Structure 1
Amino acid sequence: MRFTLPAALAVGVSTLIAGPTPAAASPPAEQLVWRSCPDEDLAKAGAQCAEVTVPLDYSAPGGRTVKIAISRIKATAGPKRGILLGNPGGPGGAGLGYLLSLRPALGAVADQYDLIGFDPRFLGESQPISCGTPPPPGQPGVRTNPRKDFDSAIESARDLAERCHETNAALLPHASTRNAARDMDAIRAALGAGKLSYFGTSYGADLGAVFTQMFPARADRIVIDSSTDPAASQYELFQRTGRPLERAMDEWAAWVAGHHSTYRLGRTATEVRDTVWRVLKHAGHTPIPVDGNRISAHVVRLMLKQSLHNQEHNPALAALVRDLVAADAGTLTKPGPELAAMLGLLTSPELEASLVGGALFMCGDGGWPAGGWPKNPRTYWHNMQRSRAAEPVFGPYVNGMIAPCAFWKSTPREGGTAIGNNVPVLMLHALRDNNVTYDGALALHRRLAGSRMVTADIRSHGVYGRGAEGLTAVPCADEAVNDYLRGGALPTGDITC
């Protein structure tokens, strides 16, 4: 099973916020020093790595600078098309090896481009920000309740915000999607390219849209997969996933009911739902003991949410829930691989870095204060309680996930980006995406007047290159992307796969 952080524990969505959109002047090219890449997979692929120097503050180009780590796999076939950058999303995801992961899906198209990966500023190898030493990981008590768990989440968010401010106050205002787009343009200039082509997914899709707005003349062939509504705040985007997640739960429950002999979770979708609800209700007062951990209702909801993103994960989620049912009954001797993998993810040493990376860009984007996150914890609690009737499983999670942005002390240096242009863009989205909703992508599609949309009738977060990830491929979507990157012509109209 593939999971994404910080989407798992932060918000998993990004936003493009209305505001002024002056484009920065193209930075001068610099002489890059290429070396072997420290990443083993990149080194095996023959990639080289370098650093591009960019201003910390583009309004003060002679001031402090930041080093952006990039990788390059040179084109091997002619005629060379140019450079193809990529971003895997997050926000907060490092992308030095991202284009290498897309290479199997790109096939022969990859040979026509210099494939350029990069870690956005303050992430990965690009002068990463650390927010001090986190407190020891906590566990819920043997007995708890929804209010106690909520108050604990508030304190965790507040702690991360305070630690980031104490250690990086001068840097935080410069972590933003607009500056990431400017850094992309600086990479383009450093590589001596007149334009850049681009593939971005999730937050990376939104970053690509921002680039087209800020640098329309420098956009070559732009592909964005799984984007969001540019008029919505981050918190609104997260709230909007509640009902699609409930529908995904219904879809999964029907599948599990058809495999009752294997999982024993219920013979009908309603019975399966009831089984999940019993686990959630019990965990809300008596966290489930598993392998030295105690799993709260909030974490159960998180596990369900992450596993519902892709329809191919139905069996893995069923096995995970089966283990939770057994653990709740006191009969689980050892967690299976699915539950063990999820527990490993939640307790991994990389978790703090993922949370910090997500917070930097969620909280650094302007427009609304700190990306539209309400400041008053009562707002989240009220929305949680109000959502329970219509969205019993996921309403409390998507309405009550309070981000560090609610307590962020840094003020964004500029507003966000109002999207509205006719730059040619190829968009992709899954019809039943429950991480970033389809209607949000349609809203962006309308604002990108030169775009074409490829819709896949699947439950997935991400459409292109699924086969390379061990998921079911969407051939017509893969072909549409590769045809566009190869030939430069968008489809004559929108496509449904």
Structure 2
Amino acid sequence: MRIVAAIGLGLVLLAGAAPAGAASVPGQDLPSAYGRQSARWGACPPAQKELRKAGARCAKIRVPLDYGDPGGPMIEIAISRVKAKGPRRGILLANPGGPGGTGLAYALSLRPALKGVADRYDLIGFDPRFLGDSTPITCAPGGPQRAPGRSSTARRDFEASVKSARDLARRCRENGDNATLLPHATTRNVARDMDLIRAALGAPKLSYYGVSYGADLGAVYAQLFPRRVDRMVIDSSTDPAATQYELFRRAGRPLEAGLDEWARWAAGRHEEYRLGRTAARVRATVENLVDRAERRPIAAGDTRLGAPVVRLLLRQFVQEQHYDAALAGLVRDLVKAASDNPGKPGPDLSRMLGLLASRDLAASLTGGALFMCGDAGWPAGGWPKDPETYWKNVQRSRAAQPVFGPLVNGMIAPCAFWTRPAGPVTAIGNDVPVLMVQARRDDNVPYAGALALHRRLTGSRLVSADIRAHGVYGRGTAGLPPAACADRAVNAYLAGGPLPERDLNCP
């Protein structure tokens, strides 16, 4: 039986965000060799088919491993460029979030949303340090996992997640020279790398779009290099004063509210999905499903799913209102799989099982852990060292957050067993002009976190979209209904227009 084991930090990195830690002063001066370098453009890697099709060119630049020791070891950052077609305003960098997302082709992917604005910028993609083609960090492969048994308990699932997190920390720390590299996997250093990209391209300033973790990265850059910001757009950001573990925990209530919203939708379609005629009955169906998986993992084809994975699958869909039908299909498939006569998994469940088994997913999880751990710090950054702290928080959460409380409170990361990162993490606060966009019903990074950042960025304007989603700008490029009001505001600003006179509310 193929295994989907109980998870620790796990697959939530598909949609997670990291705290926007940053220094309040620029970094030290660098040797002139860094400032004088220029990108040597060549063909993009064969795997980057879209970049090659668009006529992009790729290069690598050198950056210090440790900005506190700029004359020490160097690493390489992979970058791409699609040249402006019209009157050139400057360079536009972009980051897709994660953390742990590679971004070499991401700026290019924004071109349909940017429309004519794209022609005014050199679109610059980059893989953040230690990811993709940028001097990657790799962890030693894990050993074979045991398939979940036919019965389980919440405590047994939790202990498995602790063991998994501890093992990942060991495999990453002990592989090659990772012990030297890992402390330098911080958002602060990625922001500094971005400024060396700017310098290598000969640009006095840069413009930027980042979503989720990429939004926090943009806030860090604006803090470190305020005079080098042209147009800064950050989408779906977090409270910069919160630790990473606090951010995970704060998602519990919004996720439960999102589930209630979906349950009302599903109740109106009982004849199609058979999940309950009222929202209360639909929620009871989901809670019973999770309770059942906590005692007896659900057999779906050749895979057995424990409660942590079931909760995770629910989270992946409940964060986007236009996935309501897919979530209903998934729950229907899981209910059928948990029955005495399950049969073959349905299409929605089959797609998720394929994702769980993909190699690309495992790589993204490792990349996400690098920056979630580097920014959070240990032990002061907020990841408790004692596993019992997580377990107590799980138990306390069950009454008010029965579906997602155990997931977000029990998310023990390898950071609890990690190497201390290099350098401090300090607060953000400045008056740099920044355009923020945020979904009011984002149950991944709650709206309150964006408001907290907005207050610290006194020069910012906030565009709020009344949708349940994570990521607002350019939704149409992902096949989702666009938030047209937000798209117009972002494009007008990137085109050279002023910030809105006041915060905007988009229906």
What's 1:153 paired with?
161
The C-alpha deviation readout for 1:144-192, integer Å capped at 9, x for no partner, is: 1000000000000000001111011010111100100000000000000
| AA at the equivalent of 2:486 | A
What's 1:344 paired with?
354
Q: Does 2:80 correspond to 1:71?
A: yes
What's 1:332 paired with?
342
SS of aligned partner of 2:133: coil
Distance 1:37 1:10 in 2: 26
What's 1:467 paired with?
476
Aligned pairs for 1:89-168 within 5 A: 89-167=97-175, 168=178
Distance 1:474 1:122 in 2: 33
Q: Does 2:212 correspond to 1:208?
A: no
8 Å CA contact 2:19–2:376 kept in 1: the answer is: no
8 Å CA contact 1:21–1:417 kept in 2: the answer is: no
Distance 1:491 1:144 in 2: 54
Q: Does 2:65 correspond to 1:61?
A: no
- Which of 328-337 and 168-177 deviates more? 328-337
The C-alpha deviation readout for 1:74-122, integer Å capped at 9, x for no partner, is: 00001x0100000001111100111111110000000000000000000
* TM-score for the superposition, normalised by structure 2: 0.94
What's 1:249 paired with?
259
What's 1:81 paired with?
89
- Which of 467-476 and 327-336 deviates more? 327-336
8 Å CA contact 2:13–2:98 kept in 1: the answer is: no
8 Å CA contact 2:40–2:59 kept in 1: the answer is: yes
- Which of 15-24 and 485-494 deviates more? 15-24
8 Å CA contact 1:463–1:474 kept in 2: the answer is: yes
8 Å CA contact 1:16–1:210 kept in 2: the answer is: yes
8 Å CA contact 1:228–1:437 kept in 2: the answer is: yes
Match of 2:237 among 202, 227, 233: 227
- Which of 224-233 and 359-368 deviates more? 359-368
- Shift >6 Å, 4+ stretches: none
1:336 deviation in Å? 2.2
8 Å CA contact 1:29–1:191 kept in 2: the answer is: no
1:353 deviation in Å? 1.3
Q: Does 2:274 correspond to 1:267?
A: no
SS of aligned partner of 2:12: coil
8 Å CA contact 1:6–1:357 kept in 2: the answer is: no
SS of aligned partner of 1:54: strand
Match of 1:393 among 403, 427, 430: 403
Instruction: Indicate how the Cα distance of structure 1 residues 186 and 138 shifts in structure 2: closer, same or farther if over 3 A, else same.
Output: farther
What's 2:18 paired with?
14
1:397 deviation in Å? 0.5
8 Å CA contact 2:393–2:409 kept in 1: the answer is: yes
What's 1:296 paired with?
306
Distance 1:316 1:87 in 2: 27
* TM-score for the superposition, normalised by structure 1: 0.96
8 Å CA contact 1:35–1:49 kept in 2: the answer is: yes
SS of aligned partner of 1:77: coil
Which runs of 5 or more structure 1 residues have no equivalent in the other structure? none
1:370 deviation in Å? 6.5
SS of aligned partner of 2:156: helix
Distance 2:350 2:223 in 1: 43
Tell me how many residue pairs correspond in the alignment: 491
SS of aligned partner of 1:171: helix
Aligned pairs for 1:397-416 within 5 A: 397-408=407-418, 410-416=419-425
Match of 2:494 among 482, 485, 489: 485
8 Å CA contact 1:17–1:368 kept in 2: the answer is: no
Instruction: Indicate how the Cα distance of structure 1 residues 138 and 113 shifts in structure 2: closer, same or farther if over 3 A, else same.
Output: farther
Q: Does 2:451 correspond to 1:442?
A: yes
SS of aligned partner of 2:125: strand
Distance 2:334 2:181 in 1: 42
1:345 deviation in Å? 1.4
Distance 2:288 2:39 in 1: 59
8 Å CA contact 1:11–1:403 kept in 2: the answer is: no
CA-based RMSD of the aligned residues comes to 1.5
SS of aligned partner of 1:131: coil
Distance 1:63 1:361 in 2: 22
8 Å CA contact 1:370–1:405 kept in 2: the answer is: no
- Which of 28-37 and 388-397 deviates more? 28-37
1:18 deviation in Å? 7.0
| AA at the equivalent of 1:23 | G
- Which of 11-20 and 332-341 deviates more? 11-20
1:9 deviation in Å? 4.8
SS of aligned partner of 1:371: coil
8 Å CA contact 2:22–2:224 kept in 1: the answer is: no
1:136 deviation in Å? 2.2
1:8 deviation in Å? 2.2
1:29 deviation in Å? 3.0
Match of 2:60 among 51, 68, 78: 51
| AA at the equivalent of 1:139 | A
Which runs of 5 or more structure 2 residues have no equivalent in the other structure? 1-8
Match of 2:40 among 19, 25, 33: 33
Instruction: Indicate how the Cα distance of structure 1 residues 163 and 325 shifts in structure 2: closer, same or farther if over 3 A, else same.
Output: same
The C-alpha deviation readout for 1:205-247, integer Å capped at 9, x for no partner, is: 0000000000001111000000000100000011000000000
Distance 1:331 1:496 in 2: 49
Match of 2:373 among 360, 363, 380: 363
Distance 2:158 2:208 in 1: 40
The C-alpha deviation readout for 1:390-420, integer Å capped at 9, x for no partner, is: 1011101000011110111x11111113101
